[in-house]
Chain A
């Protein structure tokens, strides 16, 4: 059979893939309908979801404030060693458990309101202490979102460690695992 003779076979296979895509869309929508927390059909960015979560913690809607200051690896390392600063990890809990800066607490961007309430006593004790927030590094915005939210919630000295976990782990510095500190 040459290519011309196989043309109907190719066409049938392409139609099969198209049907597969349509059935998958229907299956995906059906599965989503029965989820405990379904994915909204109109996607909302992490920033939009974060603003919505923040409004559950404060009465007024989130307002725009000056962005948090940034710190480098040396300052972050010194703060960790001195134990003078509250270190917060803004990554999802799964990544936090795989490895994090020693002494850090997990205040995940994607579960901010829940984690904020869970860390209530820790955060209250650190109201007047410096706070450093980090996330994965690279282009991640989670640390900036969490830091700005903390400033909005009344914390005065909040900085972002821009290098994040990527730079910390690449520098062979100590790390902790698990969901504790």
Chain B
């Protein structure tokens, strides 16, 4: 029974890794195409001072692409999952803060779109799913490396 649940867990982790990798590769490449639009989206959150907006708009898309690539290989999956979990917490906090301040914006998460509060709530929920999936992958990878170490 334990072997079977481990087997199921491993396959679930692989499937989730592939799904997360696809999401992050798409999101990253989409933002790389138009950094100005993404910088405007970051500025709309009114959280960061102007000096930090361009560096973040330039570095976040390659970071997302790297996360997607790391999730594809078993040896790097754990670091990729941890990076996704951390970035999901950052996105969640920024979106929740904007919603609580009554802002209506396009978060720029997946390309250009019309500013909409309903979409912001949807993306907040998506971040919870991304966080849950990445924590599952991280713990599953950790358990795998622990069982290999025994």
Q: How far is the CA of A45 from the CA of B58 in the complex (A)?
A: 16
Chain A residues near B67: list those with CB within 8 A.
20
Q: From residue A67, how far is it (CB to closest CB) to chain B in Å?
A: 20
Chain B residues near A154: list those with CB within 8 A.
none
Partner of A20, one of B40, B63, B115: B63
Partner of B59, one of A25, A35, A95: A25
B54 x A42 contact (CB < 8 A): yes
Q: From residue A171, how far is it (CB to closest CB) to chain B in Å?
A: 15
Which of A11-19, A55-63, A76-84 faces chain B? A11-19
- Of the four ranges (under 10, 10 to 19, 20 to 34, 35 or more), the interface on chain A belongs to 35 or more
The B interface is mostly helix, strand or loop, or mixed, namely: helix
Known: A28-B58, A39-B36, A43-B50. A17 touches B112 (CB 8 A): no
Quick check: is A31 within 8 A (CB to CB) of the other chain?
A: yes
**Total A-B Cβ pairs within 8 A:** 99
Quick check: is B23 within 8 A (CB to CB) of the other chain?
A: no
B86 x A17 contact (CB < 8 A): yes
A40, A45, A91 interface centre (most CB from chain B within 10 Å): A45
Partner of A31, one of B32, B51, B63: B32
Partner of A9, one of B36, B43, B113, B145: B145
A20 x B83 contact (CB < 8 A): yes
The A interface is mostly helix, strand or loop, or mixed, namely: helix
Known: A43-B50, A95-B112, A95-B114. A28 touches B82 (CB 8 A): no
B positions within 8 Å CB-CB of A: 32, 35-37, 39-40, 43, 50-51, 53-55, 57-63, 66-67, 70, 78-79, 82-83, 86, 103-105, 112-117, 142, 145-146, 149
Extra contacts besides A28-B62, A29-B55, A45-B43 (17): CB < 8 Å: A17-B83, A20-B66, A21-B63, A25-B58, A31-B62, A32-B35, A39-B35, A39-B39, A42-B51, A43-B50, A43-B57, A91-B114, A92-B112, A94-B112, A95-B113, A136-B115, A166-B116
A-B contact pairs, 23 of them (CB 8 A): A6-B142, A13-B78, A16-B79, A17-B86, A20-B79, A20-B83, A27-B59, A27-B62, A35-B35, A39-B35, A39-B54, A39-B57, A40-B54, A42-B50, A42-B54, A43-B54, A45-B43, A95-B113, A110-B36, A138-B117, A139-B103, A139-B104, A140-B115
Shortest Cβ-Cβ A-B pairs, 3 listed: A28-B58, A24-B63, A138-B104
A positions within 8 Å CB-CB of B: 1, 6, 9, 13-14, 16-17, 20-21, 23-25, 27-29, 31-32, 35, 39-46, 91-92, 94-95, 110, 136-140, 165-166
